[in-house]
Chains A and B, each alone.
Chain A
Amino acid sequence: GDSVTQMEGPVTLSEEAFLTINCTYTATGYPSLFWYVQYPGEGLQLLLKATKADDKGSNKGFEATYRKETTSFHLEKGSVQVSDSAVYFCALSDRGTDKLIFGTGTRLQVFP
């Protein structure tokens, strides 16, 4: 069945460092791909999404490109801030189904 695999955390970075969080997926169809973020004490918030191959989602300096050939949707940010500290979830939604399938989440800790 469909699945999402994320890199293990925590990822610990200094402020202004470059961030990559890897995400790969397995799907039978042509899924839509999402990154959600969960700040401490809050719910899951959509960070960005891409609905077809080669689309790039971007928001708040984060970006991810839907790569069908490598079945990947890696999250990147050029310069992280302390306020980016959160748990990041990669997810997919395959066509014909309502459900989101999530990865395990990756905790990002950014220190000044």
Chain B
Amino acid sequence: EPEVTQTPSHQVTQMGQEVILRCVPISNHLYFYWYRQILGQKVEFLVSFYNNEISEKSEIFDDQFSVERPDGSNFTLKIRSTKLEDSAMYFCASSLTSGTRGETQYFGPGTRLLVL
């Protein structure tokens, strides 16, 4: 069964460093998402991406964050200058059509980011 994959599974970085989290969505999906979960808190939406541009983003997704689909398979989340409060589990998701119609979003296993 097709699945969303994410790398790395764990990432430790120093405050101020740049990190890139990678995701391979399900191959025929067109909509891509990033969410994060700070330990003990809710899963929060960060951004959605369609047709090579951001379609929606949350207040969390400020200028230090960016997303890219550099080729036909990868979808990346870049954090330019990490802060302690960026420590969280980051989930990538994809869906065949827009989530606005109640379409199922398929999630990857997550990348646990720890900023020291």
Instruction: Give the interface of A toward B (CB within 8 A).
Output: 31-32, 34, 36, 41-46, 49, 51, 89, 91, 93, 95-105
B102 interfacial contact with A, CB 8 Å: yes
Given contact pairs A45-B107, A46-B106, A98 touches B43 in the complex (Cβ within 8 A): no
Q: Is B108's CB within 8 Å of the partner chain A?
A: yes
Tell whether B7 is near chain A: CB-to-CB under 8 Å: no
Residues B110 and A98 in contact, CB atoms below 8 Å apart:
no
- When distances are taken between beta carbons in the complex, the residues of chain B under 8 Å from A93 are 99-100, 102
A49 to B101, CA, bound (A): 12
* Closest beta carbon of chain B to A58's beta carbon, Å: 15
B58 interface residue, CB < 8 Å from A? yes
Question: Which of A99, A104, A105 counts the most B-chain CB atoms under 10 A from its CB?
Answer: A99
Task: Identify which of B6, B55, B102, B110 contacts A32 (C-beta below 8 A).
Answer: B102
Contact of B33 among A34, A95, A98 (CB under 8 A): A98
Q: Contact check: which of A44, A98, A103 meets B31 at CB < 8 Å?
A: A98
Contact at B100–A97, with CB atoms within 8 Å? yes
Bound-complex Cα distance A44 to B95 (A): 14
Which of chain B's residues have a CB closer than 8 A to the CB of A31?
Answer: 102
CB distance from B79 to the nearest CB of A (A): 19
B98 contacts A36, C-beta separation under 8 Å: no
Question: Which residues of B from 7 to 57 have beta carbons under 8 Å from A?
Answer: 31, 33, 35, 41-45, 48, 55-56
